[in-house]
């Protein structure tokens, strides 16, 4: 199971997670790490697209969800976890990490490691990493991409 932050512009328009540029990058990174993207359940911690729009008919700009929004969407994420019963959760970015593990979560401190935590009353194994959109915004995209692939290889090994 892959848990991201919230739908982006394209995801909101199409009603599916990770169908925009970050999703294409994630699929490529998963394949390079040895994980079949078609075998992964993909969702977001926050279920709505929060954005600003400077002018009508212009591109909608992503705004980070706040704690209240993450908490409000918690029951939906808990229900998904209960139904999917994932072998492993890949946590994509800080917002997903905070939604699953609490406000003290810092992706930079635990990325690329296997964590064992109780999430919504169930023991879960998690591998945190950066969100694919962070790779797209990075100054050194190639290094950021290789870091994402490296973290996903940890997830692939944890899956056996």
Where is mean pLDDT largest: 14-28, 40-54, 116-130? 116-130
Instruction: Report the DSSP pairing between strands 115-119 and 89-92.
Output: unpaired
Helix residue spans in 34-140 (DSSP H): 67-84, 94-101, 107-110, 132-137
pLDDT at 116: 97
Looking at the 3D structure of the chain, how many domains does it have? 1
Task: Identify which has the larger pLDDT, 12 or 122.
Answer: 122
| Longest alpha-carbon distance in the chain | 49
Question: Residue 52: pLDDT above 80?
Answer: no
pLDDT in tens, 15-41: 888 888 999 999 999 999 999 999 999
pLDDT band of 3, cuts 50, 70, 90: very high
Mean pLDDT computed over 135-151: 97
- Within 13 Å and on the Cβ side, how many CA atoms surround 128? 20
Choice between 79 and 68, residue whose per-residue pLDDT is larger:
79
Q: Which residue has the tokens 């008919």?
A: 57
Distance of CA 81 to the CA centre of its chain: 14
Assign 90 a pLDDT band (cuts: 50, 70, 90): very high
Q: Is it the case that residue 146 has pLDDT exceeding 80? A: yes
CATH code (residue 89): 3.40.470.10
How far apart, in whole angstroms, are the C-alpha atoms of residue 148 and residue 127? 11
Provide the domain limits for residue 75: 2-159
| Confidence (pLDDT) at 50 | 64
Mean pLDDT of the residues in the chain: 90
* Interval 139-146 mean pLDDT: 98
- As a whole number of angstroms, the distance between CA 141 and CA 101 comes to 27
Banded pLDDT at 51 (limits 50, 70, 90) = low
Residue 79 predicted with pLDDT over 70: yes
């Amino acid at each position: 199971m892959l848990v991201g932050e919230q739908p982006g512009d394209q995801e909101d328009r199409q009603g599916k997670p990770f169908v925009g540029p970050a999703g294409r990058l994630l699929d490529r990174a998963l394949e390079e790490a040895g994980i079949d993207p078609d075998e992964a359940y993909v969702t977001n911690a926050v279920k709505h697209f929060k954005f600003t729009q400077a002018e009508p008919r212009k591109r909608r700009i992503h705004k980070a969800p706040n704690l209240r929004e993450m908490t409000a969407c918690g029951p939906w994420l808990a229900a998904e976890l209960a139904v999917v019963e994932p072998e492993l959760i890949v946590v994509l970015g800080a917002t997903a990490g905070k939604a699953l593990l609490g406000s003290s979560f810092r992706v930079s401190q635990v990325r690329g490691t296997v964590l064992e935590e109780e999430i919504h009353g169930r023991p879960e194994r998690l591998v945190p990493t950066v969100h694919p959109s962070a790779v797209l915004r990075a100054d050194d995209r190639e290094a950021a991409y290789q870091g994402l692939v490296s973290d996903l290889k940890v997830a692939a090994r944890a899956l056996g």
